[in-house]
Amino acid sequence: MSRSANCFGIDGCKAGWVSVYEPNPLKWEIEIFTTIEEFWNTHPNAEVVLIDIPIGLIDGGPSPRSADVAARKYLKGKHSSSIFPTPCRAALYKPTYQEANKINREKTGKGLSKQTWNIMGKIRELDILLQENKTSRNVFYEAGPELCFMTLADKSFNYYKKTEEGLKNRLNSIM
């Protein structure tokens, strides 16, 4: 894929969703969308969307997903905690943490973390888009930022992302 390909990075935020892309070399654009569907309708020609939300939810059976296990192994040590447990699909549609936690435990043998519960709305929103729109399935790819930064830098970082040195490490990997 060429550098000028129509590629986006997207993540959930308080306002909904934030996307970043490079329409021209060295010119970055940041956009905020209320819903993932609004993003998709605004950028129907997107070729690649890297999103920091789980894709490919399990319906039941052993947890965690093989993708989560591989990501944690690649990140090693202290950064592996950036990959947190993914809920089963049935838990997405429960209205309370207690109900979602219960069904997730029944289906996978594992409960839900509060961190996972706090982004359940985003996971559900993306899951609905991917279930209802076949084209989007070939465009959206799950991509954890720590995995991306580590791959771009071709090394592991010694500093957490919220430290000044950690921020420098990550910015240098994309410049």
CA distance 162 to 135: 36
Among all chains, which residue has been given the structure tokens 């070939």?
Answer: 138
CB 95, CB 102: distance < 8 Å: no
Residue 1's pLDDT is what?
Answer: 43
CB 77, CB 94: distance < 8 Å: no
3-state secondary structure 126-150: HHHHHHHCCHHHHCEEECCHHHHHH
CA distance 86 to 165: 29
Residues of the chain with confidence (pLDDT) below 70: 1-5, 62-63, 69, 72, 74-75, 77-83, 148-149, 151-162, 166-167, 169-175
CA distance 119 to 115: 7
Residue 149's pLDDT is what?
Answer: 66
Residue 91's pLDDT is what?
Answer: 94
> Max Cα separation, the chain?
49
Burial category of 148 from C-beta neighbours within 10 Å (exposed 0-12, middle 13-18, buried 19 and up): middle
Residue 22's pLDDT is what?
Answer: 84
The type of residue at 62 is P
Residue 58's pLDDT is what?
Answer: 81
Residue 2's pLDDT is what?
Answer: 46
Please tell me whether the overall predicted TM-score, pTM, comes out greater than 0.95 for this model: no
Residue 148's pLDDT is what?
Answer: 66
For residue 11, give the nearest of 93, 166, 123, 116 by alpha carbon.
123
For residue 168, give the nearest of 158, 103, 145, 116 by alpha carbon.
158
Residue 63's pLDDT is what?
Answer: 65
